[in-house]
Chains A and B, each alone.
Chain A
Amino acid sequence: MRKTLALVLAALLLVFVGGRALAATDLLETGSTLLYPLMNLWVAAYQQAHGDVQITTQGTGSGTGISQAISGVAQIGASDAYMADAQMKNTPMLNIPLAISAQQINYNVPGLNNVHLNLSGPVLAAIYSGQIQYWDDAKIKDINKQYGSKLPHQQIVPIHRADGSGDTFIFTQYLSKSTPSWAGGPGYGTTISWPSVGTAVGATGNPGMVQTCQNTVGSIAYIGVSFLNQTDKAGLGYAALENQAGKFVLPTATTIAAAARALDAKTPGDERISLIFAPGEDSYPIINYEYAIVNPKQGDAAKAAELKKFLDWSLESSGGQSEKFLGAVHFLPLPASIVAKSKAQIEKIQ
């Protein structure tokens, strides 16, 4: 009996000590479901080279990412939205851009999912506030002359995120910047007070948005570009959006880079800036920095060191910024000037 007990204890000790030796440091990344596919690629590759750190990733929504980074549960809070001034005043955090992302507007309209409809901020605002209810509305026909006769008399189901989301933030920011009545009404944020529309549906996470849009004929949804492969597989169409110059552009590497170029010189030291509705003929209007929200005072020196190492790696052109990672999720690498600013912020982590 005593022998067995001793054996069990010894085994436990071995597992404990061995486990400690194998993974000296645990890091938790949680938040944005838009950044989640990239984080998975990054962490898998990073851990092969760095066995001494154990990084766990979770796609829980930007709202959770920000709040868990603040509370200290997570070391990296992934967010598509930068933190608001009022939040920063309560708890100063680092908002570190890791990549450039975009968002497409998907729709499920029979017969038109294989083409790209033109949509504008004011039309989307009217759809999401219930003023445009059918796909053959004159306002939609006006900007889609070539498909005028093909637009069906089908009720529109606007889908929005039910959870706190950076995708909601950048989508509603596009509506606010392009449509004064939206700016004065619902406004923007990671969660907003959606106008009362009888058919509107809330869905959870980008995967939930894809699924609901796929299941619902006549629906429209805003979905992160890292889910473009899934929305293509689901047979959904995506729109060309009207930019500040009045041109309709698709989310491609060229148009996303053009929008990023237009604003990278304006990015401040703390890197909290909206890239939405950037000027320029070729600029795609809904792009954003993908942020790691990090507490500058980590407390645990070992964790802080590993955290800095991982974040630095993610900004290396031979590391996290390489095409094999970013290309797979349709993200773009950060320009050199932004990488320098991000690295300066990482230096502040203690």
Chain B
Amino acid sequence: MAAINLSVRDAAAKKAASPPILQRVSAQAIARVVTGVAALISFGIIFLMLFFLVAYAYPAIRFNGLGFFISPIWNIGNQYGSGTVTRAGFSAEAGASFGALVFIFGSVVTAVITMIFAVPLSLMVALSLVYRVPRQIRPLANALVELMAGVPSVVYGLWGLVVLVPWIGGALAPWVTAHLGFIPFLGGASGSGNGLAASVFILALMVIPIMVATTRDVILAQSTSLFEASMALGSTSWQAMTWAVVPSVRKGVVASVLLAFGRALGETIAVLMVCGAAINSFPQNFFSPVNTIAAVIVSQLESALTDASGMAQRSLAELACVLFIITLLVNVIARGIMRGADRREGAKA
């Protein structure tokens, strides 16, 4: 009887409580499977992309060897000749030399100089958006920043080509080289306006809104108590920002800087339009033509497609691998920096 009672009570209890449990369990299981598969897919896609890229570039990797990283000469070879040149079992047209040093150097240099200008500027803009800009016009300022972040890069590129480049070539560069030419890297030929300066300017225009928007959100997420406490202790608002607010949002700032750095490294069309497409030569000053990995892949692709040996296409794929790896390295280093910061903070606490 007791047993029956028990079982009846059990059944009743089950009737009351079990469907939700069952539902919850199955929903959880489904969610776990779905998210797991989604994570695997995104991971798998990146892995497969890299795998096929490397597999496609393999003949070029063998053919070019180390020369790819130390030679500044990019030459798809004599397409209209009759000879071929063979290295490591793979052949290209006679005279071919695929050295990527100019482009690797150009990518890193344009991105780094862009960040040197853009990071302090965006940090200051973000801080003033949160603490300085009057409340009435803040929504307008925020909307403007978001609008700038959303403008397609080709629009910036076109503006750069039509407005910025003639201005740099006709006014800025001649003035700077004449009056500030004693500073290294600012003297010498003023050039056409297409080049490093124009690329950096355009890239900064594109990454500053991104950094401002993300940094602003990080600062807003932080409670204002730090700022207020610091002010209450008698610091100026500048001191409160630099000593109290900025250190507390360091991690978020690093993340936003990296996001922007990645964007600057990979930006293609806008840079291609204003960089001057340097080939076989390094920039001699701030106004010299330059070229980046992303830009050269686009500008050389059509010629590469007509290379009968196919080695030019494969070498462009090798360039793409290099860009991939540089971006990956930047990410890994950044994670390291953030983990280091975490540990130091942990030790302090």
Contacts of B97 in A (CB 8 A): 193
Q: Which A-chain residue is minimally distant from B73 (CB atoms)?
A: A193
Contacts of A196 in B (CB 8 A): 72, 280-281
Contacts of B302 in A (CB 8 A): 60-61, 63-64, 67, 163-164
Stretch touching chain B among A198-206, A294-302, A308-316, A322-330: A198-206
Specify which of B81, B189, B306 is in contact with A155 (CB 8 Å cutoff): B189
A-B contact pairs, 27 of them (CB 8 A): A61-B302, A64-B302, A64-B305, A66-B305, A83-B306, A84-B79, A85-B82, A86-B93, A90-B308, A157-B191, A162-B299, A163-B303, A164-B306, A187-B95, A189-B303, A191-B300, A193-B279, A198-B189, A199-B192, A200-B279, A200-B281, A201-B191, A201-B192, A202-B289, A203-B194, A204-B273, A215-B193
Number of interface residues of A (CB under 8 A): 43
Task: State A219–B166 Cα separation when bound (angstroms).
Answer: 13
Known: A90-B308, A164-B302, A203-B277. A212 touches B80 (CB 8 A): no
Task: State A84–B308 Cα separation when bound (angstroms).
Answer: 9
Contact between A87 and B308, CB atoms less than 8 A apart: yes
1/0 per position for A55-75, CB-CB distance to B under 8 A? 000001101101100000000
**Which B positions have Cβ atoms within 8 angstroms of A?**
72-76, 78-82, 93, 95, 97, 161, 165-166, 169-170, 188-189, 191-195, 272-273, 276-281, 284, 288-289, 291, 299-300, 302-303, 305-306, 308-309
Contact between B305 and A63, CB atoms less than 8 A apart: yes
Q: Which A-chain residue is minimally distant from B291 (CB atoms)?
A: A202
Task: State A294–B165 Cα separation when bound (angstroms).
Answer: 38
Contact between B80 and A198, CB atoms less than 8 A apart: no
Contact between B299 and A204, CB atoms less than 8 A apart: yes
Q: Which B-chain residue is minimally distant from A191 (CB atoms)?
A: B303
1/0 per position for A76-88, CB-CB distance to B under 8 A? 0000000111110
B111: min CB distance to chain A, Å: 20
Specify which of A63, A155, A195, A203 is in contact with B303 (CB 8 Å cutoff): A63
B182: min CB distance to chain A, Å: 19
Q: Which A-chain residue is minimally distant from B162 (CB atoms)?
A: A211
Which A residues, 27 to 81, have Cβ-Cβ distances below 8 Å to chain B? Answer: 60-61, 63-64, 66-67
Contacts of A188 in B (CB 8 A): 80
Task: State A109–B104 Cα separation when bound (angstroms).
Answer: 34
Contacts of A157 in B (CB 8 A): 191-192
